[in-house]
Amino acid sequence: MTFVQIIDYKTSRQDDLNQLLDRYVSQSQGKRTVTHSIVGKDRENENHYVDVVEFPSYEEAMKNSHLPETDKMFQEMVALCEGMPTFTNLDVVRDESINKHMVNRLFDECIMKGNLDIIEEVLAPRYIDHDMMKDGPATGRDVMRNDVTTWRKAFDFSFTTDAQLAEGDYVTTVWSWTGTHKGEFQGIAPTGKKCTMTGTTTFRCEDGMIAEGWWHMDAMGLMRQLGAM
């Protein structure tokens, strides 16, 4: 179970503290078990800060706390703070990225299951699509609607998510695709062949909707399997 530690402290020496944390990251390279760290500054109190530090589990957090580098860093941190920092230890019981959820709805409900109504819910009206199989970018929801319709007419297919990363406004999905060629595709008559393909898709989200997408895939490998190359 993912474990999060919240460190609450006050300091007027944040620049010195940032340098300390940079040194700690360098000195503990290959040893520390931290997977994610966020530092937040209180808008109402300029000397009040909160660090949110994520670990794979409580056990991994304890390993990290026992590192000599961690102990040294903490002692130096205390010296830079106004009073003793306070700690809150949390087991994560729910972790949901709204942008990832939106992207997965597009893949699962629209592209996989053919529910085109999802496009109106998750894609911005001026959605911009970049596809390596096309000459240039295209704009509008109809781009996705036409693409989904074309691919579903040409193949019985499924997507498998191999990895997914969300950072800021961007969600990148690494996927594997398997399809059986049942209809005309790129001028190629149905072959009945079972094909595979890998690719990545990066979506940029804005104002609660998907505003832009970049599709990269092994298109040449697919065409080769269909006998076009």
Q: What is the pLDDT along the chain (229 residues), one digit of tens a residue?
A: 899 999 999 999 999 999 999 999 999 988 999 999 999 999 999 899 999 999 999 999 999 999 999 999 999 999 999 999 999 999 999 877 899 999 999 999 999 999 999 999 999 999 999 998 888 999 999 999 999 999 999 999 999 999 999 988 999 999 999 999 999 999 999 999 999 999 999 999 999 999 999 999 999 999 999 988 7
* Amino acid found at 56: P
Q: How far is CA 118 from CA 10, 115, 130, 176, in A?
A: 46, 6, 20, 22
Please tell me the distance from the alpha carbon of residue 166 to that of residue 189, in angstroms, as a whole number.
38
Antiparallel, parallel or unpaired: β 48-55 and 123-131:
unpaired
The full set of domains in the chain, from first to last, is 3-91 (3.30.70.100), 98-225 (3.10.450.50)
Contact 118, 109 (CB under 8 A): yes
The answer to whether residues 211 and 205 touch, using CB atoms and an 8 Å cutoff, is yes
Q: How far apart are CA 117 and CA 161, in angstroms?
A: 22
Q: What is the pLDDT of residue 66?
A: 93
The predicted pLDDT at position 95 comes to: 77
**DSSP labels for 89-102?**
EEE-S----HHHHH
Alpha carbon distance 47, 9 (integer Å): 8
Instruction: For residues 141 and 17, give the distance between their C-alpha atoms in angstroms, rounded to a whole number.
Output: 47
**Stretch (H or E) spanning 77:** helix 68-80
Give the DSSP H/E element, type plus range, for residue 88: strand 86-91
Phi, psi of 13 (to 5 degrees): -125, 50
What's the order of all strands across the beta sheet hosting 36-41? 36-41, 48-55, 3-10, 86-91
Instruction: Work out the number of other CB atoms within 10 angstroms of the CB of residue 3.
Output: 20
pTM above 0.75, yes or no: no
pLDDT at 94: 80
HSE-up of 83 (CA within 13 Å, CB side)? 10
- At residue 228, the pLDDT reads 81
C-beta of residue 207 within 8 angstroms of C-beta of residue 197: no
CA distance 40 to 187: 55
